[in-house]
Structure 1
């Protein structure tokens, strides 16, 4: 005790309850105000504060994992043909390498395994490790004379990449909500596009500097690093009971009457965009544009505008909901195809194709973001791997089959009518939207477009 206090007061202060002091009117004691505050105020404020932080962390993981998803596809699609051609492999054998992409088409066949066993992180990290091993095994083989063993290594690479796609897409469904799906899909499209550029053009650029062997070793190390990082990604809780039988619930989900318009919508929504994409580059060539113009405008700036469109589409989905995004962004995606029709049919300035290309690339990103949000919204978390693989395979079917007939249509009718047809064929999907709307678990829109 302070001695000076004892000196000032001979007697200690009286013990017992403190006298009650009535505060002046309008003044609330601090302790009383705390107890009077509604119990939910502070937790609700914390939730409002933490929600953007959680979303930003989720989007960072989405960007990382979809970069990992897009990287091997860029290597297989862009790098392998160049690698084997510079080593003297015949065009026939390089063409046959397209069969190596079959795992990406048929991945739905083993998607139930990803739903049934293991966590998403276990599958992703295991696949990235397999990609690293396959990349290393390319080095000792003679690229000039590809053996069946090397073909097997390349097939293992694409199978591991396709399986990783299943797990990452399922993980994205696990962590998404109707409110966050727009932002998630905007980021995932952007990250995948960047990975395709890095895994394709970026790797080829480095190969001219470092040579092939150091490059394969560096890519293997990158895959291993991604495997380690993916292991610590956020994990969503999945009901073990629902995962025991991944096939029967998916069949029940699929074979319902209300899924018929949904399946038709998935087939048709991106059909016009896919048909147009097959014939855009030949149109540039046939109109006499230089390779530099095609590379700068249609490819480089086109990818940049697609990324910008995907991010803008993600914002639109978050702001207005999936249904409105499918309607308005799908309409924009269809209408801008008419820009190429105008270039083909009207006497416009030579540079008009630049505007048509950039507008089409931007709206392609808009429509893709809305469409992927819709696909994720349809899936159940415990069966997301199988369901999403089925939906993406259905979309790929219309893309590939329609694209196969696009050249025949141009040769028969010409570029102008074909481009008009790509806009018209997009409309039936929009007409199906009222039938599809009950299947959309949409959040309340904050406004209307």
Structure 2
């Protein structure tokens, strides 16, 4: 009986690579701003602190995106939300390029950047939901790996390709923005092969209710689902991890700013942030996922954060040459990919089922807090003390985050142990 009733609502399993393509626009925005526009703004005389502040501000929508996440579930379809938000994101990058031409449009650039990042979060939410509903259980690990590879690869593509076009092909920044918009359009093509997931019985019943009733139902269901996560030891630790600067990869947001310290050309910056950077990050995603299947996931995530600390110190001490920049920046990009895969694996482990897409977005929102504030701190440190000190500050912040998490882990485990002893004694 159960099998028969569930069959009409089952969605066909989608090939995992589709989610790599669909998530590309989400990554393009960050890469375009953090690499191509950052490089052009630096050449125009904008300070590193101002550029880092703009990049840090771009993480604000990603920090608060859980507030508008229910819209994707309450109205329209996931495919329609993806199509509309992705097209607006593409036009947003064109507008960002237009307003980045000189410092006089800094205010307009900031506003357009925030709007574009908001629309890109909606695009990402639609992909999260499509992936959760259109992937077979036995393929969800592979889908998550492709998903993160597309996210980081999209960032590398948005930065490296745009900068390469501007520097080598001598096209305008505005023209590079139109190329980014074209990539957003191409990313919509997989929707032709991905039908809208079938409605569950609960969704079918809710479709006949008022919008207010559906909204209340989503909120109450979400609160119960979230509380079940927070009340668990693993869920509480995952929330703590989200706020801590472990594996933030903030240095990778400033490759363009520090390129001159390494005597690196624009082509080298494009290489590190583009094709080579994308391959390194994607390899890190796959490697990190492999490690997470063989180690306790919180331990694996902390190891990935420690690897970033070590690489930051090595970069501070290494000879400042273009070759060193390519090798060490690529190694750091691998570590960033590993940390992203580790975070996804950790979150997927603790959120379980239920409102999985919304819970994932809440965790992802929180995880953007340390990326934003560490990027801002790095920019301030670079302007005041130079690149070497900035890298050491980054490493110190990472060590502090690991120590805080170790302390939280000891406290949570000791309380759980004491509670278990009390229950045994009773």
Normalised-by-shorter TM-score class: 0.5 to 0.7
Aligned to 2:243: 267
Q: How do residues 295-374 of structure 1 correspond to structure 2 at under 5 angstroms?
A: 295=269, 299=273, 301=276, 303-317=278-292, 319-320=293-294, 324-328=296-300, 330-335=302-307, 337-341=309-313, 358-374=330-346
Provide the rounded CA distance (Å) in 1 between the counterparts of 2:89 and 2:148. 22
Shift of the alpha carbon at 1:168? Answer: 1.5
Tell me if 1:246 matches 2:218: yes
What is the distance in 2 between the residues matched to 1:423 and 1:416? 10
Q: CA RMSD in A?
A: 4.9
| 1:393 aligned partner | 365
DSSP 3-state at the match of 2:355: helix
Q: Deviations over 1:157-193 (max 9, x none)?
A: 3332221122222333334566534423332222222
Q: Which runs of 5+ in 2 are unaligned?
A: 1-11, 207-213, 414-426
Q: Aligned partners of 1:239, 1:196: CA distance in 2, in Å?
A: 34
1:128 maps to 2:86: yes
CA distance in 2, matches of 1:140, 1:302: 26
1:106 alignment counterpart: 64
Conserved? CA contact 1:108–1:390, under 8 Å: yes
Which of 115, 118, 127 is equivalent to 1:168?
Answer: 127
**Equivalent of residue 19 in structure 2, options 57, 62, 80:** 62
The CA deviation string for residues 350-396 of structure 1, in whole angstroms up to 9 with x for no partner, is 98887665544333322321211222344466634432221112111
In terms of mean alpha carbon deviation, does 391-400 or 181-190 score higher?
A: 181-190
Q: Normalized against structure 1, the TM-score is what?
A: 0.64
Give the helix-richer structure, 1 or 2.
Answer: 2
Q: Which structure has the higher relative contact order (CA within 8 Å, separation 6+)?
A: 2
Give the structure 2 partner of residue 39 of structure 1: none
Structure with max Cα Rg: 1
The residue correspondences of 1:183-194 to structure 2 (distance < 5 A) are 183-194=142-153
Contact 1:181 1:373 in 2 (8 A): no
* Shift, 1:123, TM fit: 1.1
Moved more, 394-403 or 326-335: 326-335
Q: Distance in 2 between matches of 1:225 and 1:183?
A: 23
Deviation at 1:110, TM superposition (A): 0.8
Distance 2:137 2:399 in 1: 29
Contact 2:281/2:337 (<8 A) preserved: yes
Q: State which of 137, 161, 172 in structure 2 corresponds to 1:202.
A: 161
Once the two structures are TM-superposed, the CA of residue 249 in structure 1 deviates from its matched residue by 1.9
Cα pair 2:309 2:394 within 8 Å, conserved:
no
**Cα shift readout 1:324-356 (whole Å, capped 9, x = no counterpart):** 244235325414623544665799999888766
Displacement of 1:310? 0.9
Q: How far is the alpha carbon of 1:108 from its aligned partner?
A: 1.7
The 1:336/1:106 distance shift into structure 2, 3 A limit, reads closer
Q: Tell me what 1:290 maps to.
A: 263
Secondary structure, aligned partner of 2:262? coil
Query: Contact between 2:52 and 2:254, CA under 8 Å: does it hold in 1?
Result: no
Distance change in 2, residues 1:103/1:179 (3 Å) = same
Change (3 A) 1:218 1:378: same
Contact preservation (8 Å) 1:275, 1:402: yes
Shift of 1:118: 3.1
> For the structure 1 residues 162 and 353, does the alpha-carbon distance in structure 2 shift closer, same or farther, using more than 3 Å as the test?
closer
The number of residue pairs the alignment matches comes to 375
DSSP-derived class of the 1:180 partner: helix
Instruction: Check 1:277–1:422 CA distance in 2 against 1; reply closer, same or farther (3 A cut).
Output: farther
Q: How many angstroms does 1:81 deviate by?
A: 5.7
Q: Choose from 118, 131, 135 the match for 1:159.
A: 118
Gaps of 5+ in 1: 1-53, 437-449
Distance in 1 (CA, whole Å) between partners of 2:93 and 2:322 is 45
- Quick one: structure 1 residues 424 and 104, their matched pair in 2 at CA, closer, same or farther if it must change by over 3 Å? closer
Q: Which residue of 2 aligns with 1:376?
A: 348
